[in-house]
Amino acid sequence: MILSDREIKEYLKKGLLILNAKLENITSCSVDLTLSDEIGYFEERGLPYIDIFSEIEIKKVKFDEFFLQPKSFVLGITNEYIKLPDDIAAIIDGKSSLARRGLLVHVSSSLVDPGFEGRLILEMFNVNNIPIKIYKNMKIAKIFFIKLSSSSEIPYYKRKDAKFVWQNELKI
CATH code assigned at 114: 2.70.40.10
Greater confidence, 100 or 42?
100
Amino acid at 130: I
Kindly state whether residue 95 falls inside one of the protein's structural domains: yes
pLDDT for 13 beyond 70: yes
142 CA to centre of own chain: 9
Task: Label residue 166 by pLDDT band (50, 70, 90).
Answer: low
User: Do residues 33 and 92 lie in contact, with contact meaning Cβ atoms separated by under 8 Å?
Assistant: yes
Kindly state whether residue 160 falls inside one of the protein's structural domains: no
Greater confidence, 70 or 167?
70
Kindly state whether residue 145 falls inside one of the protein's structural domains: yes
- Write out the DSSP string of 91-104: EEEE-HHHHTTTEE
This prediction's pTM? 0.89
Kindly state whether residue 31 falls inside one of the protein's structural domains: yes
Kindly state whether residue 22 falls inside one of the protein's structural domains: yes
The verdict on whether 55 is a catalytic residue reads no
Q: 89: Cβ–Cβ under 8 A, 6 or more apart, which residues?
A: 111, 112, 113, 114, 145, 146, 148
- 138-164 residue pLDDT tens: 999 999 999 999 988 876 666 677 666
User: Do residues 105 and 95 lie in contact, with contact meaning Cβ atoms separated by under 8 Å?
Assistant: yes
H-helix or E-strand containing 13? Answer: helix 5-14
List phi, psi (to 5°) of 17.
-140, 135
Kindly state whether residue 156 falls inside one of the protein's structural domains: no
**Domain with 140 in it:** 5-42+60-149
Residue 101: other Cβ atoms inside 10 A: 13
pLDDT at position 68 is 97
Kindly state whether residue 97 falls inside one of the protein's structural domains: yes
Kindly state whether residue 155 falls inside one of the protein's structural domains: no
User: Do residues 68 and 126 lie in contact, with contact meaning Cβ atoms separated by under 8 Å?
Assistant: yes
**Distance between CA atoms of 59 and 75, rounded to whole angstroms?**
10
pLDDT for 18 beyond 90: no
Q: Which of 24, 44, 123, 169 is catalytic?
A: 123
Number of folded domains that form the chain: 1
What would you report as the CA-atom Rg of the chain, rounded to the nearest whole angstrom? 17
